[in-house]
Amino acid sequence: MPVDGPVPAQVFTLLAAAAIFAVMFDLGLQIAAREYEWAWRHVRLLLKGLFAVLVAVPAMAVVVTDAFDLPRAAMVGIVLMALSPGAPAGLRRSLSAGGEAGFAPALQIAVAALAIVSMPLSIAALNEYYAGQAVIAPGELARQVFFAQLLPLGLGMLARRFLPALATRAGPGVSRAATGLLLALAVVALANFFPVVIGAGPRAALCVALITLLALAVGHSLGGPEPQGRTAVAISSAVRNPGLALLVASVNHAPPAVISTVLAYLVISAFTVLPYVAWRRRAAGEGRRAGDGGLP
């Protein structure tokens, strides 16, 4: 990780990798392959979700950053995060907030896979718009997506499929470990990145919060008529992937101000999403108590 603080950057990087792997493996243990059948029977909703995550959010980020007239480094960092979909922790947050279990994982996998193509294309288009020269090879993105998301998720699903008794026994412990690692990562991130957030300035912070709120609103509106679908698309739209953004920044030797903006976006967006997650979790609980059977 490119920012040192009270916790060295190397330690933070290892902690982040361990937390992401544990979270995705834990999710894999909880997901049966047959649950994906629902998503494939509702392809139109899946396409709307992909449009929200891959097209609408980056477009809104370009418009909003132009309107705020931010310094170029701040603008590049914010747009770069908006181009980077499929945050691993976003799937866990979506499911915990009541996102449809037969849809949210399929959307996450589709978004992660398509990012390998969508990000190079989006970066090429923005090069024309901003007269830039950034590049990213699909192979580099593919490696990041595979090792950070698809591999641990797939291992968890295979363990559930072929070692069900062991997966059942180990599941609670894996879940507790994943939660503990995420909490530790959050504490370390706040300690290391709080000065970065302050340094971003009020205009950049407001810009990030506005883009996140707009992403929630667009995702919620495009998520279909049922609340579980709305929750899944909204959170997937709003929670962006700092790993992919930092990969692009590193490959293109971005200045420190761009990297700092990416990290500031991560923290500000995470706090902006919290009220929505709490609202959807409360609504999902009320729906279950009322006997809501979920999506048809």
CATH value at residue 37: 1.20.1530.20
List, for residues 76-119, the tens digit of each pLDDT value.
Answer: 999 999 999 999 888 889 988 988 888 888 899 999 999 999 99
pLDDT band, residue 1 (cuts 50/70/90): very low
Residue 224 to residues 3, 45, 278: CA-CA distances in angstroms? 40, 6, 20
What is the spatial distance between Cα 60 and Cα 62, in angstroms, rounded to a whole number? 5
What is the spatial distance between Cα 144 and Cα 269, in angstroms, rounded to a whole number? 22
pLDDT value at residue 225: 86
pTM to 2 decimals? Answer: 0.89
pLDDT band, residue 295 (cuts 50/70/90): very low
List, for residues 166-221, the tens digit of each pLDDT value.
Answer: 989 999 999 999 999 999 988 888 888 878 878 778 999 999 999 999 999 999 99
Residue 244 to residues 182, 262, 270: CA-CA distances in angstroms? 19, 10, 17
In a domain, 82, yes or no: yes
pLDDT value at residue 82: 96
- Is residue 151 pLDDT above 60, yes or no? yes
pLDDT band, residue 7 (cuts 50/70/90): confident
Report the percent of the chain where pLDDT is more than 90: 58
In a domain, 289, yes or no: no
pLDDT value at residue 296: 45
Average pLDDT score over residue span 24-39 = 78
In a domain, 148, yes or no: yes
Burial of 85 (0-12, 13-18, 19+ CB in 10 A): buried
- Is residue 20 pLDDT above 70, yes or no? yes
pLDDT band, residue 2 (cuts 50/70/90): low
Lowest-confidence segment of 208-212, 229-233, 253-257 by average pLDDT: 253-257
- Is residue 245 pLDDT above 50, yes or no? yes
pLDDT band, residue 290 (cuts 50/70/90): low
In a domain, 293, yes or no: no
In a domain, 2, yes or no: no
Please state, rounded to an integer, the average pLDDT across all residues of the chain: 89
Question: What is the total count of domains within the chain?
Answer: 1
* Domain carrying residue 82: 9-282
In a domain, 287, yes or no: no
pLDDT value at residue 131: 81
pLDDT band, residue 4 (cuts 50/70/90): low
Average pLDDT score over residue span 63-71 = 94
Of 83, 54, 243, the closest CA to residue 148 belongs to 243
